[in-house]
């Protein structure tokens, strides 16, 4: 990378630059150039929360955005990568369903996504400090994503729509099937669905 008239590795740049102190979200942010064409870029170094001596370098070719925005976007993209990796490797997104029916594949994908949502909520409740009282709302400024109750309702509506079309059941049978399915869910999911229905 080109930096202050010289060519350095990320480790060398990290060693040369003065680090931010205190509770900053990142250690340093420097403008560099990349490659022979000297493409402008920005390198942001972030601490490892578990091991303070470790750090991660994030590079962006959009030098107009702030370091905080680069970190936020990287976090969102990393969540997406983890989501697809988990669905493919552990929740059998690719190998579990061999059907050629579009409706069956849609139902399979919906079920896999529901599995991932359950795992994500369990992890958030058990390991994430952001679930402590209002700590998440007071200290974090994340995107206003679709709520858990809304996403659960969308998945269940889509799943039941496929079931009704594929198996040609009546509205009454569908209502019984939906009620039976919801009753088998964990209590916190049932409450989320009730809240989502009330809000709608």
79 found inside a domain = no
Same domain, 98 and 146: yes
Same domain, 131 and 37: no
Confidence band, pLDDT 50/70/90 cuts, at residue 141: very low
Q: Could you give the strand order of the β-sheet that contains 39-47, starting from the edge strand earlier in sequence?
A: 6-7, 2-3, 28-34, 39-47, 55-60
**Which helix H or strand E contains 164, and what residues bound it?**
helix 148-167
Count of structural domains within the chain: 2
pTM over 0.75: no
The rounded radius of gyration (Å) of the Cα atoms in the chain is 23
119 found inside a domain = yes
pLDDT for 17 equals 80
Mean pLDDT check: name the lowest of 34-38, 85-89, 143-147, 193-197.
143-147
Confidence band, pLDDT 50/70/90 cuts, at residue 198: low
Q: 19, 35, 70: which is the final residue of a domain?
A: 70
Same domain, 50 and 9: yes
Same domain, 152 and 98: yes
Question: Mean of the pLDDT values across residues 21-44?
Answer: 83
Same domain, 105 and 181: yes
Same domain, 171 and 97: yes
Question: Mean of the pLDDT values across residues 83-94?
Answer: 86
Q: How many CB atoms lie within 10 A of CB 93?
A: 19
pLDDT for 197 equals 57
Domain that holds residue 110: 91-199
Same domain, 115 and 27: no
102 found inside a domain = yes
Same domain, 186 and 115: yes
Closest CA to 103 of 154, 173, 160: 160
User: What is the percent of the chain with per-residue pLDDT over 70, rounded to a whole number?
Assistant: 82
φ, ψ of residue 118 in degrees (nearest 5): -65, -45
Residues 39-78 have pLDDT tens digits of 899 988 887 776 667 788 888 888 888 888 888 888 888 8
φ, ψ of residue 45 in degrees (nearest 5): -105, 130
Mean pLDDT check: name the lowest of 12-21, 63-72, 77-86, 173-182.
12-21
3-state secondary structure of 60: strand
- In terms of Cβ atoms closer than 10 Å to its own Cβ (0-12, 13-18, 19+), residue 195 is middle
- pLDDT surpasses 50 at 7: yes
Same domain, 96 and 195: yes
- Measured between alpha carbons, how far apart are the two ends of the chain, in Å? 52
pLDDT for 38 equals 85
Q: Given CA atoms 49, 53, 57, 63 in this order, what sign does their dihedral have?
A: positive
């Amino acid at each position: 990378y080109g930096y202050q008239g010289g060519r350095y590795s990320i480790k060398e740049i990290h060693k040369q630059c003065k680090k931010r102190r205190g509770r900053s979200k990142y250690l340093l942010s420097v403008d560099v150039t990349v490659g022979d064409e000297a493409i402008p870029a920005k390198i942001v170094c972030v601490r490892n929360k578990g091991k303070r001596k470790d750090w991660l370098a994030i590079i962006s070719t959009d030098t107009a955005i702030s370091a905080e925005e680069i970190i936020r976007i990287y976090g969102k993209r990393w969540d997406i990568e983890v989501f697809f990796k988990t669905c493919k490797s552990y929740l059998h997104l690719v190998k579990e369903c061999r059907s050629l029916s579009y409706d069956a594949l849609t139902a399979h994908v919906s079920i896999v996504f529901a599995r991932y949502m359950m795992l994500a909520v369990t992890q958030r409740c058990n390991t994430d400090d952001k679930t402590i009282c209002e700590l998440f709302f007071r200290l974090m400024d994340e995107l206003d994503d679709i709520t858990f109750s809304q996403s659960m309702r969308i998945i269940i509506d889509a799943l039941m729509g496929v079931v009704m079309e594929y198996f040609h059941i009546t509205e009454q049978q569908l209502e019984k099937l939906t009620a039976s399915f919801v009753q088998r869910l964990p209590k916190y999911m049932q409450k989320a669905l009730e809240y989502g229905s009330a809000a709608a």
